[in-house]
Amino acid sequence: MKSGLTIRADLSGKILQALKEVGKKDVLVGIPESKSERDDSGIGNAAIGYINENGSPAQSIPARPHLVPGIRKAQAETLPLLKSAAQSILTGDGSAANRDLNQAGFLAANTVKMYIRDAGFVPLSPVTISKRLRKGRTGDAPLIDTGKYRDSITYVVRDKDANS
């Protein structure tokens, strides 16, 4: 018995290649090692981010979670892009899938930056504000002193087995 199915074009090779290509990718949002270093501090932006995300009782720094909540806030915009990347994979269009992955990373990184600007974090202590004033800075926004930390937040689309 015949199924009545007619094959017009066999795209299976193209689809398999796209699946292999995009399936090996991660979209990471945060501070890459290359953007971590600072001239004005003894520690890098990645360490500053970790301390601010989790707090440091030893240094009297309260936790001010911003990376994880910022990425969660971006999900409404990034999930459709990830879905589109998956659909592009199924049609064999690896370049469209990579474009969508990059766009999702870009949106997530920018949402984290906006979250830093807009979230109602635990206010800075009077001691921290005094230290800022002594440095000639007038801002009192948590997580934003010079802006170098916030500006270092970005994204990368990389191979899952990459070391950096």
Parse the chain into domains and list their residue ranges. 23-159
Q: What pLDDT is attached to residue 123?
A: 93
Residue labelled with tokens 């049609």: 91
17 contacts 92 by C-beta, under 8 angstroms: yes
Cα 8 to Cα 16: distance, rounded to the nearest angstrom: 18
Note the pLDDT of residue 61. Answer: 93
pLDDT in tens, the chain (164 residues): 667 777 677 767 766 666 666 667 889 999 987 666 777 777 888 999 999 999 999 999 999 999 999 999 999 999 999 889 888 877 878 889 899 999 999 999 999 999 999 999 999 999 999 999 998 988 899 999 888 899 999 999 988 876 65
Which amino acid does the sequence have at 41? S
CA nearest neighbour of 149 among 139, 159, 157:
139
Nearest to 106 by CA among 66, 159, 69, 157: 157
Q: Report how far residue 54's alpha carbon sits from residue 61's, in angstroms, rounded to the nearest whole number.
A: 9
- CA-based nearest residue to 150, from 158, 141, 137, 159: 141
Q: Helix (H) and strand (E) counts for the chain?
A: 6, 2
DSSP state of 34: G
Nearest to 85 by CA among 34, 157, 160, 138: 157
* The pLDDT value given to residue 91: 80
Distance between CA atoms of 28 and 78, rounded to whole angstroms?
A: 13
- What tokens were used for 124? 């800075």
